[in-house]
Amino acid sequence: MGAQPDGFAEDGARARRALVREIEAYGALRDPAWHAAFSAVPRHLFVPSYYVSGAAGYERLWSGDPDPARRARWLRGAYRDVPLATRVRDGELVTSSSQPSLMAQMLEALDVRDGHDVLEIGAGTGYNAALLSHRLGAEHVTTVDIDAEITDSARVHLAAAGHRPTVITGDGARGCPGRAPFDRIVATCTLPSVPYAWLAQCRPDALVLTPLSTGLLLLRVDDAGHAEGRFLATAAYFVALRGGNARFPRGRPMGLPRHIFEDDRFQFLRTLAEGTLDAREALALWQRERRPERERFGVTVSEGRQWAWLDDPTGPYAWPLPSD
């Protein structure tokens, strides 16, 4: 999976410009530095093959397909504003390239500054690390993934795009103490709670952005034992950190109306409070509090415990999150 043939460069550049316009229309890329990064980094170099789902299961599209029409379909798909399944094992999705507009939202929410050191949990294809490297310089970017095949391919993709951040094979829940301290930590995989190891590897006033439940939690770190923050407004669905045991309630409880069960905001609360509130209790709270949006929820990490809350970390609605 090396560098793509030169024949893709011109068509890829046109498709990339169209993608940037689409992300702008979505409301992201207001920061000129991130606009420049998405304009410069060729996504197709990071997805030389990916899978699309169909009636017969997953279909693989790839850059080396002998059929010109399928190659063109691959390239167009690489620049759609959608997540792309890049690695499937035994019918299960292992890793993907996230939706670019969501990536742009997350990167802007990180509020990085020149000189910041960033740790990414979940290397994926390497595309996000390339965007960070374009913005900050590769020497300030570290990306970690537990799967050696993923980190190996990410290194190849990054080199093809001209970026060489530090790519490490390891357990993302443990962070990367050898490269600490960090000013920002961003995860691209869902976790059930915030690993305490991350906070210990942060500089004071660092930010941690991680998927949790079906939302994006942005924490400000005071010190190794204390952090607090709220969820962003957007929904977010990521592959779970392997070994992280992310919680996703399955099945519609008996008697729960389908339109309620399928409501994205209710599912967020139900997942966040899983193990504390049953479906009926979650529904009663959700209706009583006027169907709260994600940004009304937050998480506090303090003195070896952590909890999610609605509106106020010391208020009446709080739910413990699992420990490491």
What is the tens place of the pLDDT at every residue in 63-89?
Answer: 999 999 999 999 999 999 999 999 888
Q: Is residue 251 part of a domain?
A: no
Per residue in 102-116, pLDDT tens?
999 999 999 999 999
With residues binned 3-state (H G I as helix, E B as strand, rest as coil), the percentages for the chain, rounded to 5, are 35, 30, 35
Mean residue pLDDT across the chain: 91
Q: Is residue 153 part of a domain?
A: no
Task: Kindly report the backbone phi and psi dihedral angles of residue 272, in degrees, each rounded to the nearest multiple of 5, phi listed first.
Answer: -60, -35
Number of domains in the chain: 1
**Structure confidence at residue 7 (pLDDT):** 65
213 classed as catalytic = no
**Structure confidence at residue 87 (pLDDT):** 87
**Structure confidence at residue 4 (pLDDT):** 45
**Structure confidence at residue 323 (pLDDT):** 73
**Structure confidence at residue 184 (pLDDT):** 98
**Structure confidence at residue 243 (pLDDT):** 47
Question: Sheet harboring 305-310: ordered strands across?
Answer: 166-169, 141-145, 118-121, 182-187, 202-212, 215-223, 226-235, 297-302, 305-310, 318-320
Token digits of residue 308? 């999610």
Q: Is residue 293 part of a domain?
A: yes
Per residue in 258-279, pLDDT tens?
778 678 899 899 989 988 998 8
| 3-state secondary structure at position 125 | coil
Per residue in 193-217, pLDDT tens?
999 999 999 999 999 999 999 999 9
Q: Is residue 18 part of a domain?
A: no
Token digits of residue 194? 């915030």
Angstrom distance (rounded) from CA 3 to CA 309: 47
**Over 90: is that where the pLDDT of 38 sits?**
yes
Angstrom distance (rounded) from CA 107 to CA 100: 10
Cβ contact 152:159 at 8 Å:
no
- Most trustworthy range by pLDDT among 16-20, 93-97, 301-305: 16-20
Q: Is residue 285 part of a domain?
A: yes
End-to-end CA gap in the chain: 36
What number of residues does the chain have?
324
Q: Is residue 297 part of a domain?
A: yes
Q: pLDDT band for 94, please (50, 70, 90 cuts).
A: confident
* Short-list 323, 299, 321, 322, CA closest to 310: 299
Catalytic member of 97, 98, 153, 213: 98
Q: Could you tell me the residue range of the domain that residue 270 belongs to?
A: 258-320
pTM of the shown model = 0.92
**Structure confidence at residue 3 (pLDDT):** 45
Place of tokens 């779970």: 240
* Short-list 15, 78, 90, 16, CA closest to 52: 78
Q: Is residue 34 part of a domain?
A: no
DSSP conformational letter for 236: -
Percent of the chain with pLDDT over 70: 92
Q: pLDDT band for 245, please (50, 70, 90 cuts).
A: very low
Q: Is residue 90 part of a domain?
A: no
Count CB atoms within 10 A of the CB of residue 257.
10
The DSSP line for 13-39 is HHHHHHHHHHHHHHT---SHHHHHHHH
**Structure confidence at residue 244 (pLDDT):** 47
